[in-house]
Amino acid sequence: MDNHSGVGVVDKAAAILGALEHGPATLAKLVETTHLARPTVHRIALALEHHHLVGRNTSGAFILGARFSQLAATVGEDRLVSAAQPVLTVLRDRTGESSQLYRLYGSQRICIAAADRPVGLRDSIPVGTAMTMHAGSAAQVLLAWADPQHMHAGLEGSRFTATDLALVREQGYAESAGEREPGVSSVSAPVWGTAGTVIAAVSISGPIERLTLHPAAAHARSVVDAAQQLTEVLRRTQVA
Protein backbone atom coordinates (compact mmCIF):
# COMPACT_ATOMS: atom_id res chain seq x y z
CA MET A 1 0.00 0.00 0.00
CA ASP A 2 1.22 3.50 -0.87
CA ASN A 3 1.32 5.44 2.40
CA HIS A 4 2.26 8.72 0.73
CA SER A 5 -0.61 11.07 -0.06
CA GLY A 6 1.59 13.92 -1.19
CA VAL A 7 0.78 15.95 1.95
CA GLY A 8 3.82 15.33 4.10
CA VAL A 9 2.56 16.40 7.50
CA VAL A 10 -0.60 14.30 7.12
CA ASP A 11 1.42 11.25 6.11
CA LYS A 12 3.67 11.70 9.15
CA ALA A 13 0.73 12.12 11.49
CA ALA A 14 -0.87 9.00 10.01
CA ALA A 15 2.36 7.06 10.56
CA ILE A 16 2.42 8.08 14.23
CA LEU A 17 -1.23 7.16 14.76
CA GLY A 18 -0.67 3.87 12.96
CA ALA A 19 2.19 3.06 15.33
CA LEU A 20 0.00 3.83 18.36
CA GLU A 21 -2.71 1.51 17.08
CA HIS A 22 -0.54 -1.36 18.36
CA GLY A 23 -0.41 0.05 21.89
CA PRO A 24 1.43 2.62 24.04
CA ALA A 25 4.80 3.85 22.77
CA THR A 26 7.53 6.11 24.07
CA LEU A 27 8.93 8.89 21.90
CA ALA A 28 11.96 6.70 21.15
CA LYS A 29 9.70 3.82 20.09
CA LEU A 30 7.71 6.10 17.80
CA VAL A 31 10.90 7.33 16.16
CA GLU A 32 12.05 3.74 15.65
CA THR A 33 8.69 2.59 14.26
CA THR A 34 7.95 5.54 11.96
CA HIS A 35 11.54 6.17 10.81
CA LEU A 36 10.90 9.89 11.23
CA ALA A 37 13.27 12.37 12.84
CA ARG A 38 12.90 12.69 16.61
CA PRO A 39 12.06 16.45 16.55
CA THR A 40 9.42 15.80 13.87
CA VAL A 41 7.78 12.98 15.84
CA HIS A 42 7.82 15.06 19.02
CA ARG A 43 6.31 18.13 17.33
CA ILE A 44 3.53 16.20 15.57
CA ALA A 45 2.74 14.03 18.60
CA LEU A 46 2.29 17.15 20.74
CA ALA A 47 0.05 18.71 18.09
CA LEU A 48 -2.05 15.52 17.96
CA GLU A 49 -2.20 15.54 21.75
CA HIS A 50 -3.55 19.11 21.65
CA HIS A 51 -6.45 17.85 19.53
CA HIS A 52 -6.95 14.80 21.80
CA LEU A 53 -6.02 12.43 18.98
CA VAL A 54 -3.06 11.36 21.11
CA GLY A 55 -2.89 11.05 24.89
CA ARG A 56 -0.55 9.74 27.59
CA ASN A 57 -0.84 6.77 29.90
CA THR A 58 0.18 6.75 33.57
CA SER A 59 3.82 6.06 32.68
CA GLY A 60 3.95 8.96 30.22
CA ALA A 61 3.94 6.89 27.02
CA PHE A 62 1.90 8.07 24.07
CA ILE A 63 -1.44 6.36 23.41
CA LEU A 64 -4.39 6.96 21.08
CA GLY A 65 -6.46 9.82 22.42
CA ALA A 66 -10.00 10.08 23.71
CA ARG A 67 -11.15 11.74 20.49
CA PHE A 68 -11.04 8.35 18.77
CA SER A 69 -13.74 6.96 21.05
CA GLN A 70 -15.96 9.88 20.08
CA LEU A 71 -15.21 9.39 16.39
CA ALA A 72 -15.79 5.65 16.70
CA ALA A 73 -19.23 6.31 18.14
CA THR A 74 -20.19 8.48 15.18
CA VAL A 75 -19.19 5.68 12.82
CA GLY A 76 -21.77 3.61 14.67
CA GLU A 77 -24.18 3.42 11.76
CA ASP A 78 -22.13 0.77 9.99
CA ARG A 79 -23.47 -2.67 9.27
CA LEU A 80 -22.07 -4.15 12.46
CA VAL A 81 -23.97 -1.74 14.68
CA SER A 82 -27.10 -1.91 12.53
CA ALA A 83 -27.03 -5.70 12.77
CA ALA A 84 -26.23 -5.64 16.48
CA GLN A 85 -29.00 -3.38 17.72
CA PRO A 86 -31.92 -5.82 17.34
CA VAL A 87 -29.77 -8.65 18.71
CA LEU A 88 -28.86 -6.59 21.78
CA THR A 89 -32.50 -5.65 22.31
CA VAL A 90 -33.60 -9.29 22.28
CA LEU A 91 -30.71 -10.20 24.61
CA ARG A 92 -31.74 -7.44 27.03
CA ASP A 93 -35.33 -8.64 27.02
CA ARG A 94 -34.31 -12.29 27.40
CA THR A 95 -31.97 -11.67 30.36
CA GLY A 96 -33.55 -8.57 31.89
CA GLU A 97 -30.12 -6.88 31.94
CA SER A 98 -28.44 -4.11 29.95
CA SER A 99 -26.59 -5.41 26.90
CA GLN A 100 -23.61 -3.98 25.03
CA LEU A 101 -21.35 -4.54 22.04
CA TYR A 102 -17.63 -3.75 22.40
CA ARG A 103 -14.85 -3.46 19.83
CA LEU A 104 -11.13 -3.37 20.50
CA TYR A 105 -9.42 -0.13 19.53
CA GLY A 106 -5.71 0.11 20.32
CA SER A 107 -5.30 -0.49 24.05
CA GLN A 108 -8.97 0.17 24.87
CA ARG A 109 -12.38 -1.29 24.17
CA ILE A 110 -15.20 0.93 23.02
CA CYS A 111 -18.93 0.43 23.47
CA ILE A 112 -20.35 0.83 19.96
CA ALA A 113 -23.94 -0.30 20.64
CA ALA A 114 -26.11 -0.85 23.70
CA ALA A 115 -29.62 -1.66 24.87
CA ASP A 116 -30.28 -0.54 28.43
CA ARG A 117 -32.61 -2.14 30.93
CA PRO A 118 -35.50 0.35 30.93
CA VAL A 119 -36.23 0.46 34.66
CA GLY A 120 -34.64 -0.40 37.98
CA LEU A 121 -31.00 -0.70 38.98
CA ARG A 122 -28.84 -1.20 35.89
CA ASP A 123 -25.33 -0.86 34.50
CA SER A 124 -25.69 1.77 31.78
CA ILE A 125 -22.76 2.14 29.35
CA PRO A 126 -23.21 5.05 26.90
CA VAL A 127 -22.26 4.37 23.29
CA GLY A 128 -18.78 5.77 22.64
CA THR A 129 -17.47 4.98 26.13
CA ALA A 130 -13.84 3.85 26.11
CA MET A 131 -13.02 1.26 28.76
CA THR A 132 -10.00 -0.57 30.09
CA MET A 133 -8.72 -3.83 28.68
CA HIS A 134 -7.40 -4.80 32.11
CA ALA A 135 -10.70 -5.88 33.65
CA GLY A 136 -14.16 -7.14 32.75
CA SER A 137 -15.56 -10.08 30.82
CA ALA A 138 -15.59 -8.21 27.47
CA ALA A 139 -11.89 -7.43 27.83
CA GLN A 140 -11.24 -11.12 28.52
CA VAL A 141 -13.12 -12.14 25.37
CA LEU A 142 -11.39 -9.59 23.13
CA LEU A 143 -7.96 -10.66 24.42
CA ALA A 144 -8.57 -14.42 24.56
CA TRP A 145 -8.37 -14.79 20.77
CA ALA A 146 -5.96 -11.91 20.13
CA ASP A 147 -2.54 -12.47 18.60
CA PRO A 148 0.21 -13.28 21.13
CA GLN A 149 1.71 -9.77 21.05
CA HIS A 150 -1.58 -8.04 21.85
CA MET A 151 -2.52 -10.69 24.39
CA HIS A 152 0.79 -10.31 26.22
CA ALA A 153 0.47 -6.52 26.25
CA GLY A 154 -3.10 -6.72 27.47
CA LEU A 155 -2.22 -9.05 30.33
CA GLU A 156 0.26 -6.56 31.80
CA GLY A 157 -1.47 -5.07 34.81
CA SER A 158 -4.74 -6.91 34.15
CA ARG A 159 -6.96 -8.47 36.78
CA PHE A 160 -7.04 -11.78 34.92
CA THR A 161 -4.33 -14.20 33.80
CA ALA A 162 -3.32 -16.20 30.73
CA THR A 163 -4.90 -19.23 32.44
CA ASP A 164 -8.18 -17.33 32.71
CA LEU A 165 -8.05 -16.53 28.98
CA ALA A 166 -7.39 -20.18 28.17
CA LEU A 167 -10.58 -21.05 30.07
CA VAL A 168 -12.48 -18.38 28.10
CA ARG A 169 -11.35 -20.00 24.83
CA GLU A 170 -12.33 -23.44 26.11
CA GLN A 171 -15.84 -22.53 27.26
CA GLY A 172 -16.58 -19.85 24.64
CA TYR A 173 -17.54 -17.06 27.04
CA ALA A 174 -16.21 -15.04 29.99
CA GLU A 175 -17.74 -13.84 33.23
CA SER A 176 -16.64 -11.30 35.81
CA ALA A 177 -17.90 -10.04 39.16
CA GLY A 178 -16.58 -6.83 40.68
CA GLU A 179 -13.61 -6.96 38.31
CA ARG A 180 -14.21 -3.79 36.28
CA GLU A 181 -16.31 -1.98 38.87
CA PRO A 182 -17.30 -2.97 42.41
CA GLY A 183 -20.81 -4.35 42.56
CA VAL A 184 -21.09 -5.09 38.81
CA SER A 185 -21.21 -8.55 37.18
CA SER A 186 -21.04 -9.31 33.47
CA VAL A 187 -21.00 -12.09 30.89
CA SER A 188 -19.50 -11.76 27.40
CA ALA A 189 -19.10 -13.88 24.27
CA PRO A 190 -17.15 -13.41 21.01
CA VAL A 191 -18.50 -12.19 17.68
CA TRP A 192 -16.53 -13.62 14.76
CA GLY A 193 -15.84 -11.83 11.49
CA THR A 194 -15.60 -13.39 8.05
CA ALA A 195 -11.79 -13.45 8.32
CA GLY A 196 -12.01 -15.91 11.21
CA THR A 197 -11.03 -13.42 13.91
CA VAL A 198 -12.93 -12.08 16.89
CA ILE A 199 -14.12 -8.60 15.94
CA ALA A 200 -16.37 -7.74 18.90
CA ALA A 201 -17.77 -8.92 22.21
CA VAL A 202 -21.44 -9.11 23.12
CA SER A 203 -22.07 -8.51 26.82
CA ILE A 204 -24.69 -8.15 29.50
CA SER A 205 -23.95 -6.38 32.76
CA GLY A 206 -25.78 -5.49 35.94
CA PRO A 207 -25.61 -5.44 39.74
CA ILE A 208 -24.05 -8.39 41.52
CA GLU A 209 -27.11 -8.55 43.77
CA ARG A 210 -29.16 -9.68 40.76
CA LEU A 211 -26.56 -11.35 38.54
CA THR A 212 -24.62 -12.97 41.45
CA LEU A 213 -20.90 -13.67 41.65
CA HIS A 214 -21.28 -16.28 38.89
CA PRO A 215 -23.56 -14.67 36.29
CA ALA A 216 -22.64 -17.19 33.59
CA ALA A 217 -24.62 -19.91 35.35
CA ALA A 218 -27.90 -18.23 34.42
CA HIS A 219 -26.94 -16.15 31.38
CA ALA A 220 -24.00 -17.66 29.45
CA ARG A 221 -26.30 -19.50 27.04
CA SER A 222 -28.27 -16.37 26.18
CA VAL A 223 -25.13 -14.28 25.61
CA VAL A 224 -23.44 -16.97 23.50
CA ASP A 225 -26.62 -17.38 21.43
CA ALA A 226 -26.74 -13.62 20.79
CA ALA A 227 -23.07 -13.52 19.78
CA GLN A 228 -23.56 -16.49 17.44
CA GLN A 229 -26.64 -14.88 15.91
CA LEU A 230 -24.71 -11.67 15.22
CA THR A 231 -21.84 -13.70 13.78
CA GLU A 232 -24.23 -15.37 11.35
CA VAL A 233 -25.74 -12.05 10.28
CA LEU A 234 -22.27 -10.63 9.63
CA ARG A 235 -21.31 -13.74 7.70
CA ARG A 236 -24.28 -13.28 5.39
CA THR A 237 -23.49 -9.59 4.87
CA GLN A 238 -19.71 -10.10 4.62
CA VAL A 239 -18.69 -7.75 7.48
CA ALA A 240 -15.02 -7.84 8.61
218 phi and psi angles, rounded to 5 deg: -95, -25
Q: CB of 141 within 8 A of CB of 216?
A: no
Give 55-63's long-range contacts (Cβ < 8 A, gap of 24+). Answer: 57/24, 57/107, 59/24, 60/26, 61/24, 61/25, 61/26, 61/29, 62/20, 62/24, 62/25, 62/26, 62/27, 62/30, 63/20, 63/23, 63/24, 63/106, 63/107
Q: pTM, whole model, 2 decimals?
A: 0.69
pLDDT tens track of the chain, all 240 residues?
A: 456 777 889 999 999 999 998 888 999 999 999 999 999 999 999 999 999 899 998 888 999 887 876 676 555 446 788 899 999 999 999 999 999 999 988 788 999 999 998 887 777 888 888 898 999 999 999 999 998 888 988 899 999 999 999 999 999 999 999 998 899 999 999 999 878 899 999 999 999 999 999 999 999 999 999 999 999 998 887 655
pLDDT for the residue 72:
62
Provide the β-strand partners of residue 135.
none
Distance of CA 32 to the CA centre of its chain: 27
pLDDT for the residue 213:
96
